[in-house]
Structure 1
Amino acid sequence: MDFPEKVLLIDDDDEEHFIFKAALNECCKSTILIYEKSAQSALARMANGEPGAVPDLIILDWRMPLLSGKEVLTRIRKLPDYSRVPIVIFSGVFDPAHLEEAKDLGATFFLQKPFDLKELYRKMELLFSLDWRNTASSGRQL
């Protein structure tokens, strides 16, 4: 499998960070997980444009305080270095209208929040078995 070297997780829930870290440690120990608890800090990090700071994949919570996942996705896609980075929208509940909207804004994959670590691990394995770098295949639900 082709694992990303760096994954950026943007999620306001520390528990989700712990679960993703554990899942990535199971499936791809060499992947570095960068965690941003707020959309504002994540966008500031991206706007700084530090060399080598662009992750291979972004996992973005759709429901966050202050800035919604929709707003964050829109802003990320406007950043030249991030326009083609695959973005996985991560949410507990997906309304079909939200799925279509996120797809139109450039979301690559949709991942419904699982209830346990094993389920997330399986979904991460599925994601990394796909052509996850190909943003042209946007909108696939996992």
Structure 2
Amino acid sequence: MNKQNYNLLLADDDEDDCAFFKEALDELALPVSLVTVNDGVQLMDYLETNFSGNLPDILFLDLNMPRKNGHECLAEIKDKEELKNLPIIIFSTSLDTDIVDLMYEKGATYYIRKPGEFSKLKKVIGNALAITSENNFKQPIRAKFILQP
């Protein structure tokens, strides 16, 4: 990674998943800061409040959230000029091929199926940050869209 500190945003309504994500980042000892929001409405409010130069470097987006789901948020983000280049990594329990294909078509940067084991979570988060940075935050070819631990 070629930046001093990465600002990450995690949008996930599951408190345990958020805690594991934060713990994994802490153990990886990477130069990152993390903000979490618990639903899609909070996510969009946060992004609109931070339009002027304080956007996260990467958004980790859960698909199944209350009030506004990840599908809706992704579509809204990609429709807004100020947000459309924000790297978005889908972070979901589902690995349904149709959903993965749809997220790719809608412009998500990568897709991660939430691993059940903490060691795999650490590995996939570390890989996601490294590979996203190496690819200059651009979407890869479809065959490399899903990140594995």
TM-score by length of 1: 0.89
What whole-Å deviation, never above 9, does each CA across 1:7-40 have from its counterpart, x for those lacking one?
0000011111101111111224420000001110
Aligned-pair CA distance for 1:50: 4.9
For residues 126 and 17 of structure 1, what CA distance do their matches in structure 2 show?
A: 18
For residues 17 and 70 of structure 1, what CA distance do their matches in structure 2 show?
A: 19
Residue 63 of structure 1 corresponds to which residue in structure 2? 64
**Of residues 127, 134, 137 in structure 1, which corresponds to 2:137?**
134
Aligned-pair CA distance for 1:73: 0.5
Residue 39 of structure 1 corresponds to which residue in structure 2? 40
Residue 17 of structure 1 corresponds to which residue in structure 2? 18
Residue 89 of structure 1 corresponds to which residue in structure 2? 90
Aligned-pair CA distance for 1:43: 0.2
User: Mind listing any 5+ residue stretches in structure 1 that lack a counterpart?
Assistant: none
Amino acid at match of 1:96: T
Q: Percent identity?
A: 25
Give the root-mean-square deviation of aligned CA atoms.
1.8
Question: Which secondary structure does the structure 1 equivalent of 2:122 belong to?
Answer: helix
TM-score by length of 2: 0.85
Question: Which secondary structure does the structure 1 equivalent of 2:82 belong to?
Answer: helix
For residues 29 and 17 of structure 1, what CA distance do their matches in structure 2 show?
A: 17
Residue 122 of structure 2 corresponds to which residue in structure 1? 121
Change (3 A) 1:54 1:26: same
Amino acid at match of 1:135: K
Q: What is the number of residues matched between the two proteins?
A: 142
Amino acid at match of 1:38: D
Conserved? CA contact 2:10–2:61, under 8 Å: yes
Residue range with higher mean Cα deviation, 60-69 or 94-103: 60-69
Change (3 A) 1:69 1:22: same
Amino acid at match of 2:146: Q
Change (3 A) 1:123 1:97: same
Question: Which secondary structure does the structure 1 equivalent of 2:31 belong to?
Answer: coil
Conserved? CA contact 1:57–1:85, under 8 Å: yes
Conserved? CA contact 2:40–2:73, under 8 Å: yes
